[in-house]
Structures are given as structure tokens and as C-alpha cells.
Chain A
Amino acid sequence: MHELAPVSPFIALAYLVAGVLFILALRGLSSPATSRRGNRMGMAGMAIAVATTLYTHDVVSLPEILGAIVVGGGIGFIIARRIAMTDMPQLVAAFHSLVGLAAVFVGAAAYLNPGAFGILDPLTDEIHNASRVEMGLGVAIGAITFSGSIIAFLKLNGNMSGKPIMLPGRHLINLGTLAAILGLIAYFVTDQSPWIFWTVTALSFVIGFLLIIPIGGADMPVVVSMLNSYSGWAAAAMGFTLGNSAMIITGALVGSSGAILSYIMCKAMNRSFISVIAGGFGAESGPSGGGAAAVDRPYKRGSAEDAAFLMKQADSVIIVPGYGMAVSQAQHALREMGDLLKKEGVSVKYAIHPVAGRMPGHMNVLLAEANVPYDEVFELEDINSEFGQADVAFVIGANDVTNPAAKTDKTSPIYGMPILDVANAKSVLFVKRSMGGAGYAGVDNEVFYMDNTMMLLADAKKMVEEIVKGLAH
């Protein structure tokens, strides 16, 4: 009963169907129109995988298992219904940590009861060599995913400062720990004693923690994507242990998905993946090559009425939202402003920078939540040329992604990063809490001091609500 190898072809087929349904789930996301059907396919795939597993094993503890599913499922469902859309990055980080922990527990269970997983060599009664490596890697990746995601969650949720925490000699410590983990997994092949297994697990928890603490808030989109990728590789490693095609296909899908998202995020910041992982970005504060300090340069300050008047007269307005919009929950007021402008015959579009917000696509979800039609929302490369014809660029809660220093100033830390060319619009309205704080990169933004820029200094939501009032009469 324990040997999994000679599975009936129908069972293998069921897992394959589940894997294909998962592929179709991601495929559905190629457009919002097909996305919900895709999500349903994902659910069907999961149902098939779970049902097949229960069906093919001598389940001696069905009530406990069903109880566990009901408890976990209930918690998950309630969280999913209640979570605010602005908190999505934290939620995803928390979910990643659960996948990681589940992988660690499954790996540990496989180590404690290898017979159940069919990974025992019948001749020697020891765990297969290949399985030891797969198990070790699965547990290590799972543990890194877990502790890394916990730190990412604490930083995103504001329980921990978004500032990088730099330990002295951290590169040496990290590389040493990684080498120790890999060395122990290799040694595990020759000696399957418990201390090796548990040391690998413990060290992996530690390294996950160490890897994420030096990474600053602005790099979180990369971190969240990277941890997404890790959770996939952990599932794939466990899939190897179990010889299960659904797990392997899913693991590969999720692994490559997270890797591609990390790549897109890095490219959008013109940073290398290595430099993000090395951490420390945004640690040194103050103007680092971005011109003089913000306080002593002249800028034009406007009121909500000025802004309302200016936009009413415009033919076209492009709105550039950033993380500040999410923080002040200004998306609903913003949509109202857009509606009023459209009533006045103004063309309204939204321009999204790939790294706006704290996770890939964060701004799009918030705008969708506020009922902004998705065909009014454009990606950087699709809209950037339109700023030249736009009357008003309305920047709300974004900063670094509009900074021309990324193009002109070779010494700037954000040099080379693709930006939204808001400076090309006839006028720029810049909603910002105060002139003090520069962006996450700690660089001053030339756009503030241009002749055609009006600074709207207030909380984003309050300012937009004031503008809505100004537009209404």
C-alpha cells in the first residue's frame, strides 16, 4: 500500500488534468475578460488534485482531514472577504509564508514517515538518495519562503520599519549560511541522521530572515515577487519527492511566474536582481546627487480650487497614481474626480508605472476597486508618448517614477530607470503631503520646481475631495 510508483494510469491522468487546469488558470489572466473563467479552472484543478489524493490513499483519518480543511478554508475565506484592497501586498506575503511553512511540515512529515511517501529503498530500508536531496531542498526553500515572507509581511504591514536593517558583514554571514545549508544537504545523502535534517531546517529559517531584513520598502515589489517564486520552487521540490505531476507542473508555473515578475520589477527600476537582494537601497538619506535640498528652492503652491479650474479648462488629463494614493485610500475620490472631469468633456486617462505601489499591478487593482474602467488605465510604454499632448498631468502619491533625474543625472541612484514623462505635459499638478520628504530613493525631483508645476500640498485623499467639491460647482 505504501509504494506509490506503480500508480494506475487514471490517477496519473487525474493529476495531469489538474496540472493542465492550473496552466489554463494562468492563461485566463491574459485579459480581464477571460480571467474569471481562468480562476474557476484553477479551483477545479485544485478540487481534482485533492479528491484524487484522498481517493488513492487508505485514509485512516478522514474526519480529522476534513476538519483541517474546513478550519483552514474558513479562515482563508473570511480573510479574503474582509481584506482591504490596499492591504493586498501584506496579504500575499502572509499567504506566501503559509505555503513555505506547509512545505516545511510536509518535508518533515516525509522525513519522519518515509514509508507513507513511498521513498524508502525496500532493500536497505533507508530513504532514496535522490529523495533526500529533493526533501532537503524542499524544506530549505520552504523555510526561507516562510521566514522571508514573515519579514516582508511585517515591513509591508508597518509592524517593522521599511528602512533596511544592515548587519555588519552580512554578505559574509549570508553566503556562509547558504554554503552550510547546501553542504549539509549534500552530506545528507551519505548520512540521514536527524540532526542534519533539522539543522538544515533551522539554518534555512535563519537565512530567510537575514535575506529580507536589509531590503528597503521601495524594493518590496521585487521581494514579494521573489518569495512568490520561492513558494513555487518549494512545491516543485516536494512534487519530485512524491513523483506527483500536478505539484511539479504547478511548482514550475509559480516559480517562473514569480521569477518573471521579479525581472519585470527590477527592469522597471533599472536595478539588477543581485543589487536588490544585496539590499540597503534607500538606507542613506539626504540628497545624494539630486541637486540642492528641497527646502530652499522656489516652487509654486496651488489650492484645490486652482487645480479644479485648471483641469476643467483642459482637454486631456493624465492621472499618475503611486503608493501615496494607496496609503491615503484616495482611489474612490480620484474616480469621482475623473467622472466629473469626463462630464465636462475632458479626456481622462490613468498612467501606471510598473513599480508604482508595493506589488506588481497594485495600482490597477485599487483603480478597479474604485470602478475605474480598465480600458482607461494604461501601462508606461503605452501612454508615455501622450504626455506631450496632455494639458494636465495629475501626479498623486508618486514621485521617483516621474523624476527626470533618472534620464539626465548620471550620479543619481535612480539613473536609467524608465520614468513617466509628466514634465512634458503643459502643466503638472503634483499632490504631495509636504515638500520635506523626498521619494524612497532619497532624491529630489526637478519636476517640483518647474514653471508649469503646481504643488498641491496636502493629504492625497483630502486634496482630491476638495478638488471634487471645486469641480461640482
Chain B
Amino acid sequence: MDFISILSIFVLACFVGYYVVWSVTPALHTPLMAVTNAISSVIIVGALVASAEAGSIAAKILGLLAVVFASVNIFGGFAVTERMLAMYKKKERK
């Protein structure tokens, strides 16, 4: 992809992020941080590229370490978000 199309995606995504995040209810701000933390670990894509490709041993080791870190975050982040969200209950109407 050329730089301008990438930049367009980035700028538009910033606007989407702005509006989506303002619509998040303040009661869920902690789960929001946990889930954004999990999805920012999409950086694992870069780590996978580094550890998959032949070329440099050092790059491969760095890549694999980054895969470990990002995986901690992905599984930990989504699991802890799930755990938190399961606790939010409505009043039981009798």
C-alpha cells in the first residue's frame, strides 16, 4: 500500500476511535482499558513476521520474544475483560 492510502486509513480510524470511545459508558472504562490493551497487541502481526522469515537469527529471537509478550497480553487482556464484563449485572426485577 502506498503511504497516502495508509495515512488515510490512519486518519479516518482516529476519527472513528474518537466517536466510538466517547460512546463508551464511564462505568465500563476499566474494561475499555483492558480490551484496548488486548487489541493493541495486534502488534503480534509484526512479531510473527519477524519470527517467521528467514534471514537474521537475532531478529527471529526478538520476534519470538515479542510473540510471547503479545500473547500474554492478548490472552490475559481478553480473559480479564471477559471476567470483568461477566460481573456487570442488572437489578433483578421481582
CA distance A60 to B48 in the complex (A): 11
Minimum distance in angstroms from A59 CB to a CB of chain B: 4
Number of A-B contacts (CB under 8 A): 391
Whether A242 pairs with B45 at a CB distance below 8 angstroms is yes
Interface size class of B (residues with CB under 8 A): 35 or more
Given A102-B69, A250-B39, residue A377 in contact with residue B27 (CB < 8 A): yes
Instruction: Please indicate the chain B residues that have their CB under 8 angstroms from the CB of A112 in the complex.
Output: 56, 58-59, 62
B86's closest neighbor in chain A, by CB? A36
Whether B10 pairs with A102 at a CB distance below 8 angstroms is no
Minimum distance in angstroms from B53 CB to a CB of chain A: 3
Whether B40 pairs with A109 at a CB distance below 8 angstroms is no
Instruction: Please indicate the chain B residues that have their CB under 8 angstroms from the CB of A251 in the complex.
Output: 10, 13, 40
CA distance A140 to B49 in the complex (A): 20
Does chain B have a CB within 8 A of A220?
no
Total residues of chain A contacting the partner, CB 8 A:
121
Whether B30 pairs with A26 at a CB distance below 8 angstroms is no
Whether B66 pairs with A105 at a CB distance below 8 angstroms is yes
Instruction: Please indicate the chain A residues that have their CB under 8 angstroms from the CB of B35 in the complex.
Output: 25-26, 29, 38-39, 42
In chain B, residues 5-43, which have Cβ atoms closer than 8 Å to a Cβ of chain A? Answer: 6, 9-10, 13-14, 16-18, 20-43
In chain A, residues 1-43, which have Cβ atoms closer than 8 Å to a Cβ of chain B? Answer: 2, 5, 7, 12, 18-19, 22-23, 25-27, 29-33, 35-36, 38-39, 42-43
Instruction: Please indicate the chain A residues that have their CB under 8 angstroms from the CB of B23 in the complex.
Output: 27, 30
CA distance A137 to B53 in the complex (A): 23
Q: A51-67 toward B: CB 8 Å interface, digit per residue (1/0)?
A: 00110011111101100
Does chain B have a CB within 8 A of A81?
yes
Whether A364 pairs with B27 at a CB distance below 8 angstroms is yes
Question: Which single member of B17, B50, B66 contacts A116 (CB below 8 Å)?
Answer: B50
Listed A/B pairs (25) with beta-carbon separation below 8 Å: A30-B23, A35-B28, A42-B39, A57-B48, A59-B52, A60-B53, A68-B68, A72-B71, A80-B79, A99-B70, A106-B66, A116-B49, A116-B50, A116-B54, A234-B43, A243-B6, A244-B45, A247-B46, A251-B40, A253-B17, A352-B26, A359-B29, A359-B33, A364-B30, A371-B87
Question: Which single member of A27, A79, A360, A361 contacts B72 (CB below 8 Å)?
Answer: A79
Closest 6 CB pairs of A and B: A72-B71, A76-B76, A361-B29, A116-B53, A109-B50, A256-B17
Instruction: Please indicate the chain A residues that have their CB under 8 angstroms from the CB of B13 in the complex.
Output: 19, 248-249, 251-253
B87's closest neighbor in chain A, by CB? A368
List 15 additional A-B contacts (Cβ < 8 Å) besides A26-B21, A117-B49, A361-B31.
A39-B85, A42-B81, A45-B39, A57-B53, A79-B76, A99-B70, A102-B41, A106-B47, A235-B40, A246-B42, A361-B33, A364-B26, A364-B27, A364-B29, A369-B87
Instruction: Please indicate the chain B residues that have their CB under 8 angstroms from the CB of A236 in the complex.
Output: 10
Instruction: Please indicate the chain B residues that have their CB under 8 angstroms from the CB of A368 in the complex.
Output: 84, 87-89
Whether A92 pairs with B34 at a CB distance below 8 angstroms is yes
Given A361-B29, A368-B87, residue A105 in contact with residue B42 (CB < 8 A): no
Does chain B have a CB within 8 A of A258?
yes
A65's closest neighbor in chain B, by CB? B51
Instruction: Please indicate the chain B residues that have their CB under 8 angstroms from the CB of A245 in the complex.
Output: 1, 6, 9
Given A76-B74, A76-B77, A106-B50, residue A360 in contact with residue B21 (CB < 8 A): no
Instruction: Please indicate the chain A residues that have their CB under 8 angstroms from the CB of B84 in the complex.
Output: 85, 88, 365, 368
Whether A25 pairs with B39 at a CB distance below 8 angstroms is yes
CA distance A240 to B46 in the complex (A): 11
Whether A29 pairs with B32 at a CB distance below 8 angstroms is yes
Whether B47 pairs with A256 at a CB distance below 8 angstroms is no
Minimum distance in angstroms from A229 CB to a CB of chain B: 9
Whether A35 pairs with B80 at a CB distance below 8 angstroms is no
Does chain B have a CB within 8 A of A95?
yes
Does chain B have a CB within 8 A of A260?
yes
In chain A, residues 221-245, which have Cβ atoms closer than 8 Å to a Cβ of chain B? Answer: 224-225, 228, 231-232, 234-236, 238-245
Minimum distance in angstroms from A225 CB to a CB of chain B: 7
A20's closest neighbor in chain B, by CB? B16
Q: A278-310 toward B: CB 8 Å interface, digit per residue (1/0)?
A: 000000000000000000000000000000000
CA distance A113 to B59 in the complex (A): 6
B23's closest neighbor in chain A, by CB? A30
Whether A27 pairs with B81 at a CB distance below 8 angstroms is no
Minimum distance in angstroms from B63 CB to a CB of chain A: 5
Given A65-B52, A364-B27, residue A22 in contact with residue B42 (CB < 8 A): yes
